[in-house]
Structures are given as structure tokens and as C-alpha cells.
Amino acid sequence: MVTYTTVMSYLPLWAILVSLATVPLILFSDKSPNVREFWSLLASVIKFGIVLSIGTLVWDGYTPEVTLFNIAPDIGFTLKVDAFGLYFALIASGLWILATIYSIGYMRGHGEKNQTRFFASFALSLSATIGIAFSGNLLTFIIFYEILTLATYPLVVHKGDEKAIRAGRKYLAYSLTAGVLLIVGAGWIYGLTGEINFVPGGIFSESLINSLPQASAWILFCLLLVGFGVKSAIMPFHSWLPNAMVAPTPVSALLHAVAVVKSGVFAVVRIVHFVLGTEMMQHFNLHILLGALAGATIIIASLIALRQDNLKRRLAYSTIGHLSYIVLGVALLSPEGLVGGILHISAHAFMKITLFFCAGAILVHVHKENVSDLNGIGRAMPWTMGAFTIGALGLAGIPPINGFVSKWFLVAGTVQAETYVGLSVYLLSGLLNAAYFFPIVHRAFFRASNQYDNYGEATPWMVAPICIASLLALLFGIFPNMGVGFYDLSVNIVNMVM
């Protein structure tokens, strides 16, 4: 087990501010698209570089921390980077580079309006996401959590038509209501414990757990459950997510792979293992409720995905199911399950951003949105659909793609926890993943059609990020520790909390 030493550092603040500082530069470059996109790319590269420099401190056993001011007496606006925060920040900042490059090709190729607003909101969203990753306590976390909701709203309603406006209103209604309940829960926790800092293993003492009425514990947990359940799309709090697919595909990639829903499952881990703790979860059987909702979400979302002809909606319901893979891994309260859940945060991010990138390339280049229209497209767009195949195989748990590694630990976690219902859920879901993904691959490569004879690949601005993301999914499957040490970080996180 790694022992971490706290060290004062402003690096977490600079990681947040770099993309925030880019927002006015992007807005002032409205008449110069090349300059505007240069700022976006520059900020994404600098942000990732700062996160890597923070990583060198964390890998050396240090925890960078800075309190900027007091929000309330004894409650600071604190930024703190532990192994879990670093893990999430590496994913978000690294994939932002690919998403920015892809967005340039998509927004230009699709002739999207309001591109300056898009890139400005994109940058603000990544500032909020890194703030979530580096929050040192629950109140700081909630502030960035709500900023993320507001920052992504313009992206959801980007098209400006009635359907987009309805989706945006639903997104706000769900997310802001969840935020209010999370604030109530945080206030209750502070009243009970006098503490809202994230502490490995939780902040509830054994004596407090034994004296807390069961009804109070369940009500408190339900407040928190709705609070993090919306962004992590746990059923029945999920319906905003498929509706948000009216947004441009880079936004869908942001929602599903980089920022919003990943912030939701990040919150699940934070609250279960850094606020409540396994002892409280077990004492009141709260993990059973969480696991039951996650298991039901996995199966129901997978069955709904089977019926979706619209490609982005099929991917959306796949995301809903895979987010609950992570939630169920947390609910198992077993070390192997938590390792698998944490690894699946990164595995799903790389695979799902690949799939959404592919869907966007298909839309921009051949103007198709439905699975039933994809016969023979693999022959015209082999790189795009080859990458799609890698993502699809990985989400179905086929080795050597990184989805296999995370699913291996998740399944091992069910055995370790002796939860064979959970084991059945994961195995059945793997079959359902194959059932809704493999027909797409079959149509693309094995059904003849001449409708794409005059087409080739999309612009390199789109194809390059697609290929890089799929290659990373493959390489992280073969070398789980490659470069940034995802596996070691996940093990260190589990050792911290269990």
C-alpha cells in the first residue's frame, strides 16, 4: 500500500484554469475559426501536460493540495489530488485532446452553426470536469458538479430546434434537482459528522453508525442516490440521456466518455468509499439497494438497446448499461469488484468515445443515422468501421481489448463477494452487448450494397482521432499499465479505501 504525503501545490488550480482562461480567447476569435480552434487545441494539450506533471507527484507518493478560501467556517474551497482524482483527470484531459481534434472536423464538415459558442462551452465543461476530479471535499465537488451541468446545457441545446430545447430542459430539470438533493444530503452529513472532506474509507465512525436510526440512513442514502444517480444514468433517473442525443456527436462523446456521466460514476465511488464507507454501507444494507438498481439498469438498458435503429440512441442505452457495470462493481464492496469498476471507467471511456466518433463520421460523411442503413459501409469506410469493431468487441468483453480486463475483475468481484446474481447479470449483459453490436459490424462488412460506392473515408480530422482512440483501447487491453499506470492507480485506490 502506497503512503501519500500531502504537499501544498497550485498545480490543481492551474489545471482547472487553463481551459477556463481559453473561453474568452475563443469568444474573441469568433471571426477567425483557425485561431479559435488553435486556442482549443493549445488548452487541451497544456491541460494534459499539467495533469501529467501532477501525476509525477502522486506516483512519487505525494498528494498536492491547496485551499483557496473558506466557503463557510471550517469548510474550505479545497483542491486535492489523490490517486482517484488523478485517474479521472488523466482520462478527461487526455481524451479532450482527441475530442477537440475530432470536433474541428465534425463542426466544419457538418456545417454547424454557433461553433464559437460550442468550443467555449466545451472548454468550460472540461474546467468543471477537472474541478470535480480535484475536489478535496463534498461541497467543492458539488460546486463543480453544478457548474458542469450549466456548462454543458448550451451543448445539449446546440441545434436550437424544439427537440433540442426540450432535451435541454429535461437535462436541466433532472440535473439541477439532483444537485439540490445532493446539497441537502451533504448538509445532513456535515450535521451528523462535522466533516465533509473526502477520507479514504469514509467519515462515519463506528459509534455514529451504531447510533444512527436505520430510517435516517436510508433516507440520507436515497438523497445521495438521486444526487449521483442522474448523471450516472441509473434507472429510473436515466431518461434525460437518450434525449440528449439530439446534440452534435462531439457533445455525445463528451457526455458519454469524457465528462458528464463519468462524473456521475466518479461521484458514486467518492460517496460510497470516501464519505459513507463500506462499514456503513454494509451495516444498513445500502449496497443491496445500489446493486439491485445497477443490475436492473444493466439488463433493461441492454434490452432497450436491441430495439434501437438510430445508431446514437443504441449507443446511448449501451452507455446507460455500462455505467451501471461500474456502479454494480462499487456495490459489491469487494476489492476485485472495485478494481474492475475503476478500470471500467477508463475502458468504457476509450471504447465509447470511439463508437460515438464513428457515428459522427458516418453522419457527416454519408448522412446516415440508422443501423438499418449501414449495409456495406465498411467497404467504403474501413478505418472508421474497423475502429467501430474494436470498440464493439471491447464492450462485449472480447480480449485483448481493455473492456475484457475490466470485465474480468468485475466478474471476479462477484465471485469474491459471493454474489452470483451479479455474476449472472454481467454474463447475460455480455451476450446482450454482442447481440446489439455485432449486427452493426455484420451489416458494415458482410452485407453487400452499392449505395456507398462513391464514398471513401471521412476527413482526417475525424478519422485520426477515431483510429487513435480505438488503438488506445486495444493497447490498454494488452498493457493495462501503459504510460499512465491505470492498473496500479486502481489498485492503490482500492488499498486506500478497503
Q: For 123-165, give the DSSP string.
A: HHHHHHHHHHHTB-BHHHHHHHHHHHHHHHHHHHTTT-SHHHH
Q: What is the pLDDT of residues 290-319, one digit of tens each?
A: 999 999 999 999 999 999 999 999 999 999
257 has pLDDT over 80: no
Residues in the chain: 498
Confidence of residue 200 (pLDDT cuts 50, 70, 90): very high
CA distance 390 to 141: 34
Rounded-to-10 torsion of CA 158, 163, 168, 174: -160
- Give dist(CA 163, CA 137) in Å, integer: 37
Average pLDDT over residues 86-110: 90
Q: What is the rounded average pLDDT of the residues 266-289?
A: 95
Mean pLDDT computed over 52-80: 92
Whole-number mean pLDDT of the chain? 92
Q: What's the CA gap between 326 and 261, in Å, rounded?
A: 11
Residue 255 clears pLDDT 70, i.e. is over it: no
- pLDDT above 60 (res 1): no
- Number of CB atoms found within 10 A of residue 280's CB: 23
Mean pLDDT for 439-460 is: 90
Q: Between 253 and 444, whose confidence is greater? A: 444
Burial class (CB within 10 angstroms; exposed 0-12, middle 13-18, buried 19+) of 158? buried
pLDDT at 168: 85
Distance from chain centroid for Cα 150: 17
Average pLDDT, integer, range 160-182: 88
Instruction: Classify 399 as helix, strand or coil.
Output: coil
State what percent of residues in the chain have pLDDT above 70: 99
- Cα(484)–Cα(78) distance, integer angstroms: 25
Q: Does pTM surpass 0.85?
A: yes
pLDDT at 358: 94
Nearest-5° Cα angle at 235, 300 to 153: 120
- Whole-number pLDDT of residue 198: 95
Sheet holding 75-80, edge to edge: 5-8, 62-72, 75-80
Q: What is the DSSP string of 32-56?
A: -HHHHHHHHHHHHHHHHHHHHHHHH
Q: What is the pLDDT of residue 128?
A: 94
In sequence order, the β-bridge partners of residue 7 are 64
pLDDT band at 370, cuts 50/70/90?
very high
Place of cell 479559435: 36
Compute the chain's Rg from CA coordinates. Answer: 21
Least confident stretch, 3-17, 106-120, 444-458, 460-474: 106-120
